[in-house]
Copies of this chain bind each other. A is one copy, B any other.
Amino acid sequence: MNKTIAFASEAVAGIGDGTTVMIGGFGGSGAPIELIHALIDAGPKNLTIINNNAGNGHVGLAALIEQGMVAKMICSFPRSADPKVFTDLYLAGKIELEIVPQGTLAERIRAGGAGIPAFYTPTSYGTELAEGKLVAEFEGRHYVQERWLKADFALIKAELGDPLGNLTYRMAARNFNPLMATAATRTVAQVTRIVAAGEIDPEQVVTPGIFIDGIVEVPDPEQEESLNREGAVYP
């Protein structure tokens, strides 16, 4: 079994117009910048993107949005140090936004990967984000029903990967990546280093290979924060 893919361009080749894509990361931490840039190069339109944020500056997710490739964002916090790209399009009515509380976003993605079509959470009860949603009472407290969230594709970033697709993550870059890996029809990970099967201690695997369809080695991945401090723009 060898899930290695040679080029990022090949990894994103299946993402066509109208695809729903989960992109890992919390801000720049754990964001698969190189896969996002390969997706920009490929150029599909009318994407729905699921991410915690909505891009920062003019690289990565912000660049994807700036290219006009994104029809809808599903996220919890579309603000950043430099949110101009998203903000302008949103205020001009040119991009749709579904705002989801951060913990609910995480749990909906987990549910999508775990075969749980719906669950109840106290989060958002009584607020405008719960409008139109089913409410139920359990032991005297009110909860909102939330639905699973799935995607056609997930693009994630990991640290080590083996040919079976087993992954580890670097520090807080873990965030949404292991969840999104489980909830997409096809998941591709960029990893800093590919190691041989067995080199990752089975107790230290964070994402077991069953969730992964392809891995691409990107030895020195860019950090969104560093790129933005340099004023980088993609492409």
Contacts and interface: CB of A to CB of B under 8 A. Distances in A.
B119 A116 contact: yes
A174 B143 CA distance: 31
A119 B122 CA distance: 13
Interface in A119-165: 119-122, 136, 138-139, 141, 143, 147
B119 A115 contact: no
B143 A118 contact: yes
Q: How many copies does the complex hold?
A: 2
A176 interface: no
Given A118-B119, A118-B136, A204-B204, 10 more contacts: A115-B121, A115-B122, A117-B120, A117-B141, A117-B143, A118-B138, A138-B147, A169-B203, A174-B203, A203-B204
A114 B143 CA distance: 13
A125 to B, nearest CB: 12
A203 to B, nearest CB: 7
Nearest to A116: B119
Contact of A116 (B107, B139, B174): B107
A182 interface: no
10 contacts: A115-B121, A117-B120, A117-B139, A117-B143, A118-B119, A118-B138, A138-B147, A168-B203, A170-B203, A174-B203
A204 B171 CA distance: 10
Nearest to A123: B115
Interface in A82-130: 107, 111, 114-122
Contacts of A107: 114, 116
Contacts of A169: 203
Contacts of A202: 171
A120 B118 contact: yes
